Structure 1
Amino acid sequence: MTELREPSERVSPRARTMWTLGALGNSVFTLGVLALVAYVWSPFTVPWWAFALLVVACAAYTVLMPRWRYAVHRWEATETAVYTQTGWWSIERRIAPMSRIQTVDYEEGAFARLFGLASVTATTASAAGALAIVGLDKQLARELVDQLTRRADAVPGDAT
């Protein structure tokens, strides 16, 4: 019996910075909204220790989540399939045979563009949805889109 192995490629190390700044933004927003609500809505008072605990939780999330996510996120494209491993709270491994790939998409979001990163999504006929590889160097992402498109096109059938 063959054991399911981790995909061999990592996302760009700059993805760690992007995820850290995104988590920092989310944490600051969350703490700001809570502070504003506590200030404006006088009957709603938050004990200092609860607010301090939330600050510690947000700081831990901001520091730990991107590092763990970077350690987990992997991908690989072979002649026959695309492999992904994603997550940070729970880990998901997915494999899509080239014969099942229907579309290959390239996305360069505004925030990712600041870091020179992009995402590649391979859509299949699977009920589980598309396979997404987030945090790739944008040049590598473009090359991967071309590579996957050629490989999927070379496989006979209609990908259903």
Structure 2
Amino acid sequence: MTAVSSPVREPAWSLPRSAIGLWLTESLISVLMMGVGLGIFLIWVPADSGGPVPVLRWLVPIAVALYAVVALAVRPWFKHRTYRWEVTGEVAYTRTGWLSQTWTLVPISRIQTVDVTRGLLQQMFGLATVAVFTASSQGTVRIWHLEHGMAQRVADDLAARAERTRDQAT
């Protein structure tokens, strides 16, 4: 079995800028859902009741507003700066996460399947996700939100290389 060395540098490729639009849309949907929940909370919780309720009537809207600011004005751009990916001759790997970062590496020789998926919002933004699967449950790498054509080329390339590697091993 060939040892695969861990990359000593950042993955070469960032995601397309249209991923920011997708993340903004996802954040907007979640902020709107929280706003609906807040509205229901404010309608159903009486303002003049005793106990902690009066404090919650101003604390909950402040928390929702802070979440909205972070979700809409901060998170999409931090995610775009930190999410990176690369496929080398030996390994496909990603770095994900904007608060807690995760590196996922999959050796080409371990690839069993490569899928391209497109959710509804991804389709709206012309994006797709490449999922590279191995036999290990921990060995899957997902390259999120690539331009659809690029995702298809990456998937085709990885599948062909994995097939060549399997053919050489037998």
TM-score, normalisation: structure 1: 0.89
Distance 1:66 1:129 in 2: 26
Q: Specify the code of the residue in structure 2 equivalent to 1:93.
A: W
How many Å apart are 1:51 and its aligned residue? 1.1
Q: Specify the code of the residue in structure 2 equivalent to 1:72.
A: T
Aligned to 2:148: 138
Aligned to 1:23: 27
Distance 2:86 2:6 in 1: 17
Identity, % of aligned positions: 28
Q: CA RMSD in A?
A: 2.1
The answer to whether the 8 Å contact 2:132/2:142 transfers is yes
Give the SS at the match of 1:4: coil
- Please give the residue correspondences for 1:141-160 in structure 2 after superposition, counting only pairs within 5 Å: 141-156=151-166
Q: Specify the code of the residue in structure 1 equivalent to 2:43.
A: Y
- Please give the residue correspondences for 1:11-160 in structure 2 after superposition, counting only pairs within 5 Å: 11-42=15-46, 46-156=56-166
Q: Which runs of 5+ in 2 are unaligned?
A: none
How many Å apart are 1:52 and its aligned residue? 2.6
Give the SS at the match of 2:98: coil
How many Å apart are 1:39 and its aligned residue? 0.6
Distance 2:28 2:139 in 1: 29
How many Å apart are 1:25 and its aligned residue? 1.1
- Report how many residues are paired: 158
TM-score, normalisation: structure 2: 0.84
How many Å apart are 1:61 and its aligned residue? 2.1
Q: Which runs of 5+ in 1 are unaligned?
A: none
Give the SS at the match of 1:133: strand
Instruction: Point out the structure with max Rg over C-alpha.
Output: 2
Q: Specify the code of the residue in structure 2 equivalent to 1:33.
A: G
How many Å apart are 1:41 and its aligned residue? 4.0
